[in-house]
A and B are shown apart, each in its own frame.
Chain A
């Protein structure tokens, strides 16, 4: 049904209801694709800049996007140096966007550490924390 509708859309501009229905078709296709590929999904953490406000809740959605395993980089050494106040070597692994809520105390600590680093360091820190936890749980292999 969705392929037929996609073809129709190319021939004829969809009206608003068709666009509405198509938006669900698209989502279904993504879900189907997810199931067919049977890949793991990794969420990137979106840490909002809290420097300008005191709201420590960090909002997140559950968008799921695929990431090639080759893109995942071990940031452990980098973050250890950063937390210790040493000069860290910059790495730029590929990430995906998502969002979630953090406990205020954790968000404050993350902010403090990230303030000593560069753009993207918050994400690296959160990724490393979750990676360590999931390795401990046996969900993913140790890197």
Chain B
């Protein structure tokens, strides 16, 4: 009897012990159920939205294999700020630059300019020819060609200085030239280089005038050289991704695109510093102004014009060639819009009182009345007959040099809007987001049942940050947009200018044409020329593609 009682007591005891020991396990079960439910819902959200584009879990790598087949010899014509950056992209920096950036890195470990340069791929080329009208810059370029602090180690050859670019082009051993002179020299040098059989990398804007654009196009087509225009945005992965999305019709019919530039600093408005060593002896002023319509004698005004040339129509086209060209080319890369039928532009010199003749507030409107943007013949039937069927699109560009109120670039579709960082705001290439329109036809069901919300992006892309996600997280998005994550995530940051130079060198080696080739360069050149002419003439300009002329 007592034995039985003891047994029963012991069994109860074990049961009670187990209950107390495992009491919180059911809560863990509840937790797991919760998590699974959340995952299922997130997955559903993603698959419903843009399943095709989220297959890629990781951001695509930007570095391809080494291109060390054939050693190439390069010349640089115009070694100013941009020229120096391009030459760094090819793998040559001045001793002053590598020392300064290395010091900066020692002071601030997050300053990666030095590491970015040193971890660039060695492009297997040498800088052998230099032409610059300012002695100081020419010496700096020679210095860069010698500097052993570079990816790939000691340079194979030292650069020679040429006073006249034609002498540089006459050097038989030079394979290609990088042209980073002011715009008024672009066409002459490009055409002479093509005739001399040199491959050309020329900075944007392509030319200063419409006629020059035609001449450059013909010369490049005739000689068949590898030609690259300096829109390094062509190397930005985000633009390829954006193109895929629009090609799939996920924005719906697009009738309006808004491109913007906001800057608010003297540097951003081309008021660059005049070098203290610049004078009649160190600068070849006569050569500098040879192609410009108006000539002035050397003096203080000439020095201003030499260093701040973007402020005068004699040497460039102001906002049109410098910044509009970038945003236009980004859009052309994404949407293949080509040359508009009409362009009109307006603006004025409202803020700067420094003698410039280019506007500091400027807008251009491009009309594409025959373009079906955002839809194809196969998906146009999604929309009711009375809407979404017609061709036609306006591209609006708006720029100010006296406000930093950044507006970004927006491709506005009937079903969704794509917001891009834009290229012109101090080179911030950012990524993009896609947000559904609350009156969308394509997403109507998903909007109604709450799977997507028109207040939040349905898709985000930030190059390098691995932020490919259909579900927005406010924080990750915030950091990615600031460019913080992608810079450090895998310890590597890549310079798009380097990639653009590499693309050109690869094309020289395998006889192909690079990404910003003469066809798209021509479209950029004509479009910018139309907008510039419209502003200067105060009238709407029409493009006549048959006779290749502006009306």
A and B part of one assembly: no
> A interface vs B, CB < 8 Å?
none
> B interface vs A, CB < 8 Å?
none
